[in-house]
Amino acid sequence: MPGPSLAELARTALARAAAATVSESGAFTASGPRAAGGGDRVPVRDRADGSPLLLAAAGSLLEQRLTSCPDAVSVSVPASAPFAALRITGTAREVARDQTAGITACAVAVRSVGLVRGATAVAPCAEIPVEAYHAAAPDPLWRVAPGILHHLEHGHMAELTSCVRAHGLVQADWVVPRGLDRYGLELIVLDDEGTAAVRLSFPDGPVSSLEEVPASIRAVLTCRCRSRAEPGPGPSRPCEPS
């Protein structure tokens, strides 16, 4: 089934990251990258072309390394399964300084991009061409996906199970929503034989917003029902389209 490319997954991982671990390129410990600045993480933002923007504290060791070291640095942020992290290497340069906030913004010129399957330097890595990474864009649903997935898992498990059974997995006992993107839903299906990762694609997808999802599906994704996992008095309400 169609799904996001590796470049799209990488751009989405950086877009949703609040902080990154920064190290000298190739500097790793047994448990992962060794962070510069005494092991501190740094706030990160993504620029329009996908290059990381590191917001270092003014006067910190990390700021000194980013603004004065000509060598490449490695920027690591969490990624979605089956990957553990997105790792970008490149050279940093100062692009802005806010004296009032005490922040120095350093942009990283991307030299290499990879999605890592484990926490160590020797873990398998899916390399992504830099040109493809820059040409891609974050998934348009990344901001709303976590809330929708939580809602589906705790409020619509019966509907999801019935849906995958209707699509041929008649022995499905349990369904766990694992991902939502412009192509559709990614699910983990459990039955007597084990688990399987499956996709339910949006009709006429991929979409660029929730408004393009068919109304019958969008009503379930965006309804305001009270899930069983959410606290509060009173019985669950029926689904109401947003």
Q: Are residues 150 and 119 in the same domain?
A: no
Q: Amino acid letter at 210?
A: L
**The total number of residues written for the chain in this structure:** 242
Q: Are residues 38 and 110 in the same domain?
A: yes
Q: Are residues 11 and 109 in the same domain?
A: yes
pLDDT recorded at residue 121: 56
Domains: count for the chain? 2
pLDDT recorded at residue 154: 87
Q: Which of 86, 116, 135 is the last residue of a domain?
A: 135
Q: Are residues 87 and 65 in the same domain?
A: yes
Mean pLDDT by 10 residues, the chain (242 residues): 91 97 61 43 96 96 86 91 92 94 96 86 81 98 94 86 82 87 91 84 91 89 64 37 34
Q: Are residues 21 and 109 in the same domain?
A: yes
**240 part of a folded domain:** no
CB atoms within 10 A of CB 98: 11
Omega within 30 of 0 (cis) for the link into 70: no
pLDDT recorded at residue 208: 95
**1 part of a folded domain:** no
Closest by alpha carbon to 90, among 72, 75, 106? 72
Q: Are residues 25 and 127 in the same domain?
A: yes
Helix axes 157-166, 145-155, angle to 10 degrees: 90
pLDDT recorded at residue 192: 80
Cα(101)–Cα(187) distance, integer angstroms: 43
Say which residues have a Cβ less than 8 Å from residue 204's Cβ, sequence separation at least 6. Answer: 214
Q: Are residues 152 and 56 in the same domain?
A: no
**34 part of a folded domain:** yes
**217 part of a folded domain:** yes
Cα(129)–Cα(111) distance, integer angstroms: 9
What global pTM score does this model have? 0.82
Q: Are residues 157 and 120 in the same domain?
A: no
CB 175 within 8 A of CB 187: yes
pLDDT recorded at residue 95: 95
Please, what's the b/e burial string for 168-178 (b: 16 or more CB within 10 A of its CB; e: otherwise)?
A: ebeebeebbbb
Q: Are residues 39 and 126 in the same domain?
A: yes
Phi, psi of 124 (to 5 degrees): -55, 140
Q: Are residues 78 and 184 in the same domain?
A: no
For residue 107, what is the domain's CATH number? Answer: 2.30.110.10
Q: Are residues 108 and 50 in the same domain?
A: yes
Containing structural domain, residue 16: 6-135
For residue 215, what is the domain's CATH number? Answer: 3.20.180.10
Q: List 201's β-bridge partners, or say none.
A: 184
E strand residue ranges, 12-119: 19-24, 28-29, 32-33, 42-46, 52-57, 73-78, 85-98, 103-116
Instruction: Decide: residue 115, CB within 10 A, 0-12 exposed, 13-18 middle, 19+ buried.
Output: buried
**229 part of a folded domain:** no
